Amino acid sequence: MSRPIRVATSPERAQPHRWYALALLCTTLFLIILDSSIVIVAIPSIDGDLALSADGAQWVVSAYAVTFGGLLLLGGRAADRLGRRRVFMWGVAVFALSSLGCGLAPSGELLVVARMFQGAGAAMMAPSALSIVMATFVEAAERNRALGFWGATGGIGGTTGALVGGPITQGPGWPWIFFLNVPVCVALLALSPVLLREHHERGRGGSFGAPAAATVTMAAMLLVYAVVQVPVHGWTGPRTWPALVAVAVLGVVFWRAESRSADPLIPPRLARSPALIGGSLVTVAIGMMVFGGVAFTLTLYAQNVLGYSASAFGLMSSINAVMAIVGSTVGQRAVTRCGPGRVAVVSLLITALACAHLTRIDADGTFLTDLLPALLIFGAGLGAGTVAGTIAALSEVEERHSGVASGISTAAFQLGGALGVALISSAAVWRTGRAPAGTMLEDALTDGYRFGFMVAVAIALVTLPLAHILLRPARTTSPSRRNP
pLDDT per 10-residue tile (average), the chain, 484 residues: 36 65 91 83 80 71 79 81 89 96 91 92 90 82 80 74 78 90 94 83 54 76 75 77 90 80 72 85 89 79 82 78 85 84 92 93 88 90 87 76 75 78 82 85 90 93 91 55 40
Encoded amino acid at 43, one letter: I
Residue (of 86, 117, 95, 282) closest to 182 by Cα position? 95
DSSP conformation letters of 55-71: HHHHHHHHHHHHHHHHH
pLDDT the model gives residue 355: 93
| Record: fold of 14-194+208-479 | Growth Hormone; Chain: A; (1.20.1250)
DSSP conformation letters of 240-298: THHHHHHHHHHHHHHHHHHHH-SS-SS-HHHHT-HHHHHHHHHHHHHHIIIIIIIIIII
Q: How far apart are CA 309 and CA 223, in angstroms?
A: 33
- 170 Cα distance to chain centroid: 26
Burial class from Cβ neighbours inside 10 Å (0-12, 13-18, 19+) for residue 73 reads buried
pLDDT the model gives residue 184: 94
Q: How far apart are CA 121 and CA 135, in angstroms?
A: 22
Give me the phi and psi of 124, to 5 degrees please. -85, -35
Across 109-209, the runs of DSSP E, i.e. the strands, are none
pLDDT the model gives residue 9: 38
Burial class from Cβ neighbours inside 10 Å (0-12, 13-18, 19+) for residue 197 reads middle
To the question of pTM greater than 0.85 for the whole model, the response is no
pLDDT the model gives residue 97: 96
Residue (of 76, 181, 86, 68) closest to 123 by Cα position? 68
Give me the phi and psi of 440, to 5 degrees please. -60, 145
pLDDT the model gives residue 62: 75
The answer for residues whose C-beta is within 8 angstroms of residue 285's C-beta and 6 or more apart is 348, 385, 416, 459, 460, 463
Residue (of 463, 368, 389) closest to 151 by Cα position? 389
Q: Give the other-Cβ count within 10 Å of 474's Cβ.
A: 7
